Amino acid sequence: MEKPQKEPILINQKQDYKLCLNCGFPNRNSDKTCIYCSSSLIQDAGLFAWFRQTYYVLRWRWQLKQKRTNLNKESRSPLFQNLGYFLIGAGLSGVSLYVFTLAVTEKSFSNGLIAALFFLYGFFTLKSLFFRK
């Protein structure tokens, strides 16, 4: 299968969409109102309308960039969430040590397994806190 070749963009090429002058959202040429903000898409002619359209295009791109950066910021864990993970991991590891000492003193195999499970869960909680992708 052949890859489609990119054609050079012509400066005076007719666009297959119209940009809303209110919000900058791209709409179909057949639309009379904006899909996003419901404002009229009837365009004025002239230099002022061109400046206004350019402004809205740049504003729309800036808003998209801001949303992208906000999504990247939200993916980072805040301090309290990290503190919670640390306390849970340390608590589970501490409980596992306590249950393990009880298992050794009582010579109980099932308590030893439970202690091992607590320890592994606490270890992986701490590991996920310190080694994030």
Predicted pLDDT at 20: 78
The span from the first CA to the last CA of the chain, in angstroms, equals 36
Predicted pLDDT at 29: 82
Predicted pLDDT at 3: 59
The CA-atom distances, in angstroms, between 2 and each of 5, 7, 68 are: 9, 15, 33
Residue segments in the chain with a per-residue pLDDT below the cut of 50:
8-10
What ranges do the domains of the chain cover?
A: 17-74, 79-130
